[in-house]
Amino acid sequence: MRLDFPARHCLILLFAALFVGVMGVERVRGNPPTYDNAADLAAVDGSKSSLSAEIDGRITPAIGQDSPLPGSLIPRIEDETVVNGAGFVEQTSAEFPTLHSFLTSQPAPPPKPGAPKAKLAFPPPQVVNQPGPWKLLFYDNDFSMLKNPNHEWMPGEHLKDMEGTLFGEDLRISAGGELRYRYITEKNRIRRGPATKEDLNLIRWRNYLDVHYSDWLRLYLEQIDGSVSGDRAPRQAIDENRWDLTNAFVDLVLFKDDDRSSIFRYGRQELFFGRQRLISPLDWSNTRRTFQGFRYMHQEGDWKLDLFTVNPVSAASGFNNVDISGTNFDKPNYDVQFSGAYTTYTGIENTVFDLYWLWMDNSQPKPGFADGSRHLVGTRYAQLIPVSDGIAHDDRVWDVEVEGGYQFGNDLGKEVQAGFATMVVGQTWKRNPWQPRFSGLFYWGSGDENPNDNINNTFFTYFPLGHAYWALSDNVSGQNLIDYSLQLDVKPTSKLTAATAFHWMQLASGQDSGYQVNQTPFGAAGNGTGLGTALDVYGVYNFKPWWDMQAGYSWYWFGKFVDRTIPRGDCTQFYIQTSLRY
């Protein structure tokens, strides 16, 4: 695969960061870290969502848990809280990897004698708060806080963790849900059909029932009704799904103790791995993305392994039709098989290392689309580095993340040679007013270099949270894309969060088309590479852990490629949204 100039630089960054990380591993190997529990570690990345997956305790991909925020939008770390307790105990100066010295020029001082170590939390893809026990995946909700007699009241609390017995075995049942409303107006967005202006009202209602029997069996059911009104353009798969099931699975706990667990799952289920760049439930959508099949989850010490083979179910997956009438119960698409192995190691303080293999086999590939049979071998390295300014040993916190992968296989008779790489570097000033965080992002997803040869270089993004990574207005996906982004987010009060991000976007290859956020190709090759620039501004206010509101405005100023191939005015989008959970 031929790599252009930005791609080579991105791969250099990837390998350099991994090398630095390995050197850091060697330096801290003799100091094993201490964590609150294994579940807290899994929460950071969602790689074992059914066992813990608490990544979204305070911060999620939307209001409270449905956040529409651009991918460079990575939240700051708060002074007094962590994401659902999913934090890492800070290191002393003797434990810091070499990356710390590189970024700070001096070792951090040790904590004061007798002072408790503060905790750090990795920033998820979104900056929006989601306090309380509701998670990105409702089947990971944790209402243990209700055991505290002084807990704050929340609607539906009497339906949580109801205990009883059945045939002499313990029985625990929980029920709850969410009602969400969004008004959105957008103009000239790149989507199916001609350029148009839309004013949409989107309503989503979710309800779940969670039953645990003894210590070896679990049944989980979750219903969804997503409706839309006011649309004039062709209806989108992410907007409408009437009276259907997003989750309906059975868990068999093969074994579980303080340090190990092994769970087998079968049925309809949402998936969530890593930073949601490749696999996400797509909570921004009005319908969410779901699959059906088998999954095996194993945790042992600091290692987590997840194996799965599933078929896409909902239209939001991109492989089924939109259910407008509500009379068609979603069925798996057996023409598409999606399998993978995802492993995570968290045995080093403030560090996460992922290694994964994904394979999607579409027996009915579409000409012009990047699909077919594609394998991806990828890795991700992330680290938090506290810095002292003389007040405490974590006055500022650097966060560094590198992820990339190589994709191979075949697509309509062509050999696939593609890949992606991304890097995010940010710093949070924890002691400053509003706790500002400033970060930069670089992303590269390969495009086809020569449409007339027998090699397809277009990277396929699988099932990402595209809304979070490639600008708020949802015009493009991470296929054949280069994106440079800067972001600033602030927290004026404990309940209010605000952020802004600016993107510079272009095609990775001028010999390939552009790709919409739903991976549909647009525009003819050979018309330049300029996609345009985008600015996103948004904020969210949490009235209560169970009730919040957010609003945002996005501009996308299209570049020459769009002007020459699908001419239209610049894109604007405004939305306001509120969620009530119970």
Tell me: the pLDDT tens digits for 219-234? 999 999 999 998 877 7
- For 25, the enclosing helix (H) or strand (E) is helix 5-28
Domain ranges of the chain: 5-581
Q: Which residues of 417-450 are buried (b: 16+ CB within 10 A; e: fewer)?
A: bbbbbbbbbbbbbbeeeebebebebbbbbbbbbe
Please give the C-alpha separations between residue 497 and each of 82, 375, 396, in angstroms, as whole numbers: 15, 39, 19
- Asked if residue 504 lies in contact with residue 106, where contact means CB atoms within 8 angstroms, the answer is no
**Alpha-carbon distance 400 to 252, whole Å?**
37
Tell me: pLDDT of 115 over 50: no
The pLDDT of residue 127 = 58
Q: What is the 3-state secondary structure (H, E, C) of 335-374?
A: CEEEEEEEEEECCCCCEEEEEEEEEEEECCCCCCCCCCEE
pTM: 0.81
Tell me: pLDDT of 341 over 90: yes
The count of C-alpha atoms lying within 13 angstroms of the C-alpha of 113, restricted to the half-sphere facing its C-beta, is 0
Choose the weakest-confidence range: 10-14, 376-380, 423-427, 548-552: 10-14
Using pLDDT thresholds of 50, 70 and 90, give the confidence band for residue 553. Answer: very high
Distance linking the first and last C-alpha atoms of the chain: 51
Please state whether 409 falls in left (phi above 0), alpha (psi between -120 and 50) or beta.
Answer: left
Query: How many CB atoms lie under 10 A from the CB of residue 198?
Result: 18
**Alpha-carbon distance 225 to 481, whole Å?**
34
Please state whether 148 falls in left (phi above 0), alpha (psi between -120 and 50) or beta.
Answer: beta
- Asked if residue 208 lies in contact with residue 223, where contact means CB atoms within 8 angstroms, the answer is yes
Please give the C-alpha separations between residue 12 and each of 6, 15, 455, in angstroms, as whole numbers: 10, 5, 24
As a whole number, mean pLDDT of residues 325-339 equals 85
The pLDDT of residue 187 = 95
Question: What is the C-alpha radius of gyration for the chain, rounded to an integer number of angstroms?
Answer: 23
The pLDDT of residue 228 = 93
Residue for token pair 């957010």: 550
The pLDDT of residue 122 = 74
> pLDDT digits over 77-86, tens only?
333 333 333 3
8-state DSSP, 279: B
Residue for token pair 């969602």: 46
Query: How many CB atoms lie under 10 A from the CB of residue 234?
Result: 10
Tell me: pLDDT of 419 over 80: yes
**Alpha-carbon distance 385 to 399, whole Å?**
6
Backbone φ and ψ for 44, nearest 5 degrees, come out as: -60, -35
- For 38, the enclosing helix (H) or strand (E) is helix 38-45
* CATH class as words, domain 5-581: mainly beta
Highest mean pLDDT among 53-62, 122-131, 570-579: 570-579
> pLDDT digits over 362-396, tens only?
998 888 788 899 999 999 999 999 998 888 878 99
Please give the C-alpha separations between residue 579 and each of 179, 228, 243, in angstroms, as whole numbers: 6, 16, 19
The pLDDT of residue 327 = 62
The count of C-alpha atoms lying within 13 angstroms of the C-alpha of 434, restricted to the half-sphere facing its C-beta, is 11
Query: How many CB atoms lie under 10 A from the CB of residue 106?
Result: 10
Q: Which residues pair with 404 in a beta bridge?
A: 379, 421
Q: What is the 3-state secondary structure (H, E, C) of 494-562?
A: CCEEEEEEEEEEECCCCCCCEECCCCCEECCCCCCCEEEEEEEEEEEEEEECCEEEEEEEEEEEECHHH
What's the whole-number average pLDDT of the chain?
Answer: 82
Tell me: pLDDT of 41 over 50: no
Tell me: pLDDT of 485 over 50: yes
Q: Which residues pair with 238 in a beta bridge?
A: none
Choose the weakest-confidence range: 110-119, 221-230, 268-277: 110-119
**Alpha-carbon distance 488 to 76, whole Å?**
9
**Who contacts 50 (Cβ-Cβ below 8 Å, separation ≥6)?**
137, 139, 140, 251, 263, 265, 295, 297
**Alpha-carbon distance 396 to 392, whole Å?**
9
Tokens read off for 497? 């969060």
The pLDDT of residue 537 = 96
The pLDDT of residue 231 = 80
